[in-house]
Amino acid sequence: MNRTESMWINTELQCRWPTITCDGGGSVTELDLGASQLSGTIATSIGLLTSLNYLDFYANDLSGPIPSEIGLLTNMDSLKLDGNYLSGSIPSEICLLTNLTELWLYNNVISGTIPSEIGLLTSLTSLELYNNYLSGTIPSEIGLLTSLTSLQLYDNALTGSIPSEIGLLTNLGHLWLNNNYLSGPIPSEIGLLTSLTQLNLNNNYISGTIPSEIGTMASLTKMYWRLNYLSGSIPSEIGLLTNIEDLLLNDNALTGSIPSEIGFLTSLNWLNMFNNYLSGPIPSEIGMLIPLT
């Protein structure tokens, strides 16, 4: 990718390329270079393209850090750097791109923490940081991203608890935090996510009980909570999740009986509760789960 500054501003040549879009004045507004066999680093001269609103470098062989000069591209709406070998930390300057609606950095080797300045990106609808080496906690400022519909932070090395501010993200449809080192209880505020359809907390160190507020999340179709340290009983409010198709609670420390309200989940096709400490009889209502495979 190593480009010279003169090349970036040679718009007469650039605007003839099919992967580059320019405005009427000859300024570059879009770079659509996904899967283009690019290699090398992202040059700091990228910051000269101040009219850029769309940048897609996905599925290339780019390496090295994300340059801090990316923060100069304040007109950016969509930034997709996924599927490369980018390393180093997420520069805090990326949070100056307050018009961003999509930030895709997944499938790289990015390390360090999620910057607290992420809360400035209030236009974001999709934040995809999964399959990297991010560590530290999920910043509470994540709760400022109230336009988010998709938040995917799985397959990293995040620690600490799920912040209660997650409950402010009432437009979320997908929340995937699996395969990290998250601990502590599931905040009761998670019940405020009434638009959520997929909630994946698999393979963490989450403890405490399943909050009864789970019953307010009637849009859920996928609930993956296996391989944690959840304890206590399965709340009867689980029976309110009548749209749920996959319910995975296996490999925890749940006790008590299987609630008879499980029979209300008539959309279920996958139910796992093994490797717990459940007791008592199997409720006859389980026979109402006709689609169960």
Domain boundaries of the chain, sorted by first residue = 1-112, 154-293
Q: 161-182, pLDDT tens digit by residue? A: 999 999 999 999 999 999 999 9
Name the band, by pLDDT with cuts 50, 70 and 90, for residue 19.
confident
For residue 10, pLDDT beyond 60: no
How many Å is the maximal CA-CA distance in the chain?
A: 76
- Degrees to nearest 5, angle at CA 82 with 81 and 86: 70
Domains 1-112 and 154-293 share a fold: yes
Measured CA to CA, the distance from residue 9 to residue 133 in angstroms comes to: 35
Rounded to a whole number of angstroms, the distance between the first and last alpha carbons of the chain is 50
C-beta of residue 256 within 8 angstroms of C-beta of residue 230: no
Measured CA to CA, the distance from residue 219 to residue 210 in angstroms comes to: 17
What's this model's pTM, rounded to 2 decimal places? 0.93
Amino acid (1-letter code) at residue 275: N
CATH number of the structural domain 154-293: 3.80.10.10
Q: 241-285, pLDDT tens digit by residue? A: 999 999 999 999 999 999 999 999 999 999 999 999 999 999 999
- What is the fold of 1-112? 3.80.10
Place of tokens 């609103």: 53
- For every residue of 43-100, DSSP letters joined together read -GGGGG-TT--EEE--SSEEEEEPPGGGGG-TT-SEEE--SSEEESPPPGGGGG-TT-
77: left (phi over 0), alpha (psi -120 to 50) or beta: alpha
Q: What is the model's pLDDT at position 27?
A: 87
Q: Which two tokens stand for residue 199?
A: 């909630």
Q: 122-137, pLDDT tens digit by residue? A: 999 999 999 999 999 9
Mean local confidence (pLDDT), 191-206:
98
